[in-house]
Every structure is written in C-alpha cells, then in structure tokens.
Amino acid sequence: MPGIDTRDVPQANSLEKVADLLALVNAGIHEDDELQIQLGLVPREIDYYRHAARILGLAVMKPSGLTPTDLGKKLLDVISPAQHKLILFEAVRRARVFSELLKEHNEQQLSREKVAKFLVKWTGLNPTTSNRRADTILAWLEATAL
C-alpha cells in the first residue's frame, strides 16, 4: 500500500550540497552545466539535488527553474552554523518520508535494513533501490542530529 511518491524520497546524499545548490540558484545560476561545475556533480545528480531542495521545502520547481521558498531564503540568510543545522534539522524531519518513518521507528535505532523495509512498504520501490535511498535518509538524519 504505497503512500509516498518515490519522487519525495531523496537521492542526494549531501545536505551541504543541497544548500550550495540553493545558494547558486538564488544567485541566478540555473544552467545544468554551470551547476555541475560549481557543485562537482554529474548530470543526473543535479536533478537529485533539485528534488532534495523541494522535498525539504527549501525551494519550489517552476517552469523558470528552481526558486527558493521563504524557508530556503531563511537558510541562505543565517550565518551561524548552529542555526543552519537547526533549520536543516527541522526541514528534514518535516519532510513527509521522514515524518512517517519517525512515527514508526525511533531515530536512534534506525538501520539501513529498517529504512529500506519502510521504503518498500510506503513507496513500492524495489529492495535494491530502497537500500540506496535508505543510505541517503540515514545520511541526512546523521548530518542533522543534534
């Protein structure tokens, strides 16, 4: 009984690169080639990071390109690393895939296997893809742990 769209399950492992993408887009850089150079990503990863920003509520995807939301602008405006981490902490845990996951599991007791099983159940992803996406989910939780 899938209930979470697979597009709402992140594939971008680095939250810092999500923030960097947001800063570049906010500065008016939207071309894939330039984003790849600036971020050190391969072509398909650019979309992963765009979707990550959307999943976190930091940006919306419009025909004209990725546009930062108020939350995204707030993230770009903070100077303190602690504030930066807190905004990402809250954004990650508000994202639907994370909020549903954390309703079922204690964050400190999560494993790749538990997250992958959750993803198979909630999204219909196959086990191989679920394992890869579980790595991203665990990386985001670890990067934002307080």
- How far does CA 111 lie from the centroid of its chain? 18
Mean pLDDT of 5-16: 96
Instruction: Report how far residue 67's alpha carbon sits from residue 73's, in angstroms, rounded to the nearest whole number.
Output: 10
Mean pLDDT of 25-35: 95
Residues 139, 52: contact at Cβ < 8 Å?
no
User: Which band of pLDDT confidence, cut at 50, 70 and 90, is reported for residue 1?
Assistant: low
pLDDT of 97 strictly over 80: yes
User: Which band of pLDDT confidence, cut at 50, 70 and 90, is reported for residue 8?
Assistant: very high
Instruction: Report how far residue 96's alpha carbon sits from residue 122's, in angstroms, rounded to the nearest whole number.
Output: 11
What is the predicted pLDDT for the residue at 64?
84
| Domains in the chain: boundaries | 6-144
Instruction: Report how far residue 64's alpha carbon sits from residue 61's, in angstroms, rounded to the nearest whole number.
Output: 8
Mean pLDDT of 29-35: 95
